[in-house]
């Protein structure tokens, strides 16, 4: 086996006394220890009836008729997640600083490099974790993680109803205009409404770059990156929407503020990222 190995296996369970680890080890020639590590990192799934979910516990009892799924990618599973920073623990949900490279959502191949898995493994007391909204892998900043299904539903509802004020900061190429004070881009994305309000904070003649503040009313995929590029001011380090490829600079886009009324306590909540974690012009 090498670091580049990718294995996908789907195994029908015929015997209720079967062991998940043994079945997968026999089918792949991977050691039982490696199988257990892959399970812990979210690479193994169990289908039972119409339901399929990740299987982490090696001693989970199987039923005849179950199907095991292994999505093994040695290089991916060897990836070490960057460290998230806890900003606030509100019990039913928590607020984190998501660093560059940490994922909002996992895949069938693993979830050990996601903010939700990080929260499960580092919060005390330990709680389940559910994604509420997303930040691009390359973006940094504040992100909410829910810890109950009720909180997930309520917080997701706030985002859908546009009742959460989200402020981002970015460093863009060029001299962003100071007039009008609020520059609005409302070009639809994938035929859906997308609205971004952008304001100049500071310009650096030496770098010919601008620090801007962005408030979004909607949360479409890559909305800020697309809108700024469309306006002629691509974000520094954006390898998707900038013609000037800079492979040494990370994407300079950070979610710096979240403001909303807590749907559980009805109290106002305002989370502001420490200035040292903002993009530095």
72 and 28 in contact (C-beta within 8 Å)? yes
Rg (CA), the chain: 22
What DSSP designation does 180 have? S
Query: What are 99's two structure tokens?
Result: 């660093």
The CA distance from 60 to 55, in Å, is: 8
Active site residue 136: yes
- DSSP for 82-150? PPPEEEEE-SSEEEEEEPTT-BSS-BTTB-TTBHHHHHHHHSSS----EE-S---TT-EEEEEEESSHH
What DSSP designation does 277 have? G
The CA distance from 182 to 21, in Å, is: 58
**Residue 8 neighbours by CB under 8 Å, 6+ apart:** 69, 70, 71, 72
Q: How many CA atoms lie within 13 A of 75 on its CB side?
A: 5
Burial class (CB in 10 A: 0-12, 13-18, 19+), 116: buried
Catalytic residue among 89, 136, 250, 274: 136
Beta bridge partners of 10: 69
Which residue numbers are catalytic? 136
């Amino acid at each position: 086996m090498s670091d580049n190995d990718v294995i996908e296996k789907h195994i029908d369970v015929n015997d209720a006394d079967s062991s998940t680890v043994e079945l997968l080890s026999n089918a792949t020639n991977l050691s039982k220890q490696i199988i257990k590590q892959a399970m812990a990192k979210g690479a193994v799934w169990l289908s039972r009836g119409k339901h399929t979910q990740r299987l982490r516990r090696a001693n989970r009892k199987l039923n005849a008729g179950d199907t095991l799924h292994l999505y093994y990618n040695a290089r991916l599973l060897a990836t070490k997640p960057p460290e998230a920073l806890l900003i606030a623990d509100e019990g039913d949900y928590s607020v984190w600083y998501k660093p560059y490279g940490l994922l909002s959502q996992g895949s069938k191949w693993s979830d050990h490099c996601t903010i939700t898995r990080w929260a499960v493994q580092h919060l005390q007391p330990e709680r389940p974790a559910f994604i509420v909204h997303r930040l691009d892998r390359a973006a940094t900043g504040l992100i909410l993680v829910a810890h109950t299904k009720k909180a997930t539903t309520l917080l997701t509802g706030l985002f859908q109803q546009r009742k959460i004020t989200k402020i981002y900061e970015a460093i863009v190429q060029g001299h962003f205009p100071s007039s009008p004070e609020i520059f609005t881009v409302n070009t639809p994305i994938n035929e859906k409404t997308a609205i971004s309000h952008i304001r100049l904070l500071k310009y650096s003649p030496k770098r010919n770059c601008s620090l801007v503040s962005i408030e979004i009313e909607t949360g479409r995929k890559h909305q800020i990156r697309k809108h700024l590029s469309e306006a002629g001011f691509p974000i520094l380090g954006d390898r998707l929407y900038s013609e000037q490829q800079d492979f040494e600079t990370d994407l300079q886009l950070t979610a710096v503020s979240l403001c909303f009324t807590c749907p559980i306590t009805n109290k106002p909540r305002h989370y502001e990222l420490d200035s040292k974690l903002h993009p530095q012009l």
